[in-house]
Structure 1
Amino acid sequence: MMKFSLRSFVCAVLLALLLPAVGYGQDLIKEQSFGKDDSIVLDFALPVDQVAAAKVSNYTVFEENDPDIRLAIKSADVLQGGSQVVLNFAEPLNTTQAHIVQITNLADDRLTTRVSKSYLAYLFSILISALLINNFVFTKYLGLCVFFGTSKRKSTAKGMGVVFTIVMVVSACMSWFFYQYFLIPYDLNFLQILVFIGLVSLTVQAVDTVLRKVNPVLFNSFGVYLVLVIANCVIIAVPLIVANNNYNIFETIMLSLGAGGGFLLALYLMSSVSERLALAKIPPSFKGLPVAFIVAGQFAMAFLGFSGLQIF
């Protein structure tokens, strides 16, 4: 009984001595996040050696998808008495990608942590980017034929915007499915434009049939512009961006919703101005399409104010 107690006491002492070191190495980093465009903030559970923490050579940072490319660290600022370190980089970081930070000489073992944005925040940033920051009409100048043709009245503009959004979401999801499970596995990437146009035309035909039965007045107000949706550059741009960035299904839905919502916003803004311009005294040489181009240019300049906006 005495031996057992002595052995237990020795084990307890060893554990008491070793556990803090193990915990110190594993749980030293309490929180990690992106700071500004060119920095990463590391919060430690305990104050660390400030001299070692300030040495740039103790840190190795790279993007998770490119482990062979080391990012150049300009400085390491030690704050809050050693409880926080801010890594400043020579160039802006691609915060859409996860980053790996490896730290040496701060604990017994090399510390490794993963820095990334919240995935929900990332999805929301895709939505806001397509809706405002990179609006397909006012910043990329896509879909102008339908934009100028259906933005004379609010009712028509709202209807076309909703139709565009529906077609964009459905066609983008179908394009993502075919691209991931047919084009990539069978090395048919060169057919992506033909496949995407075919899927868009199938979606537009389905919407055409439904609108003809459900709302004939709205269908007649679209005229030839509903057919133009099939080969519209906005509709085709979304699946091409999805394929180029290798988005998953959730990111695809956010991009298509943002692009469709941005087109709806552009149509509604333009139709609101067009209804007022119809009652205004405009020189004959500016009536019609010329003044529409002037107004669209002013909207485009206004949307430049969203450039560089970061929500998260």
Structure 2
Amino acid sequence: MNEITRMLLFMVSCVLTNNFIFSRFLGCCPFLGVSGKVETAASMGLAVTFVMTIASLFSYMVYHWLLVPLKITFMQTIAFILVIAALVQFVEMFLKKASPSLHGALGIYLPLITTNCAVLGVATLNVSENYNLIYSVLNGAFSAVGFLVAIVLMAGVRERLENAKIPECMKGFPISLVSAGLMAIAFMGFSGLV
């Protein structure tokens, strides 16, 4: 198998079979909290996609070019949290200057990305799986695309459920959990694909 085919399979695997929400259960808080409307879910998903991709790049560089040479790899979690927080702050400042309307639309969602465990999860996963720089960035980017797909699909389901006849005891959060479980089972069907 050549390298291009391997990369394509890796990308599909990140989005479908190793989806951060449905198989690793990372990022569940924004998945359930921000998936009320498709527009807000898409905005959150795009912001997470950008941050996860760039965080994968910077966390790889910090780990391999700073922590390993100094023999302080035990500091990786703290270092990755600092990288992610600084990156989110930079993105927020940039959006505030470049596109105030987009900054206003994202509002509280930008600072929430700092506490999204999927962003920290991808950085630590890259280290534990010993990915090189290219695969680390690909893992970050396409795991984030998987997050985006999951949160937008969930928002679409929740919007449709608003008009559905649901027993009173299942309205709101309970039906959201049942829907998320059914979506996770559906995504398990992709496990034999890659």
The counterpart of 1:199, out of the listed 75, 83, 93, is 83
Match of 1:41 in 2: none
Flag the 1:309–1:221 CA change in 2: closer, same or farther, 3 A. Answer: same
Residue 216 of structure 1, CA deviation = 4.5
Which structure: greater helix fraction? Answer: 2
Greater RCO (CA < 8 Å, at least 6 residues apart): 2
Which structure: greater strand fraction? Answer: 1
TM-score (norm 1): 0.59
TM-score (norm 2): 0.93
Matches within 5 A, 1:25-174: 117-174=1-58
The CA RMSD measured in Å over matched residues stands at: 1.6
Match of 2:171 in 1: 287
Match of 1:248 in 2: 132
Residue 286 of structure 1, CA deviation = 1.4
Match of 1:186 in 2: 70
Residue 215 of structure 1, CA deviation = 4.7
The counterpart of 2:185, out of the listed 298, 301, 304, is 301
- Cα distance in 2 for partners of 1:226, 1:186 equals 32
Residue 129 of structure 1, CA deviation = 1.1
Residue 187 of structure 1, CA deviation = 0.9
| Structure 2 unaligned spans of 5+ | none
For the pair 1:260 / 2:144, whether they are aligned, the reply is: yes
Deviations 1:78-118 (A, max 9, x none): xxxxxxxxxxxxxxxxxxxxxxxxxxxxxxxxxxxxxxx31
Residue 210 of structure 1, CA deviation = 2.9
1:265 is matched by which residue type in structure 2?
V
1:281 is matched by which residue type in structure 2?
K
2:190 is matched by which residue type in structure 1?
F
For the residue of structure 2 that corresponds to 1:229, the secondary structure is: helix
- Cα distance in 2 for partners of 1:248, 1:259 equals 16
Structure 1 window deviating more from structure 2 (192-201 vs 225-234): it is 225-234
Aligned structure 1 segments of 4 or more residues deviating by more than 6 angstroms: none
Whose Rg is larger? Answer: 1
Alpha-carbon contact 1:149-1:225 (below 8 Å) kept: no
How many aligned positions are there?
194
- Cα distance in 2 for partners of 1:259, 1:155 equals 20
For the residue of structure 2 that corresponds to 1:162, the secondary structure is: helix
Match of 2:112 in 1: 228
Alpha-carbon contact 1:171-1:200 (below 8 Å) kept: yes
Match of 1:238 in 2: 122
Matches within 5 A, 1:10-25: none
- Cα distance in 2 for partners of 1:273, 1:211 equals 30
Residue 169 of structure 1, CA deviation = 0.7
Deviations 1:128-183 (A, max 9, x none): 11100110101111111111111111111111111001000111100001111111
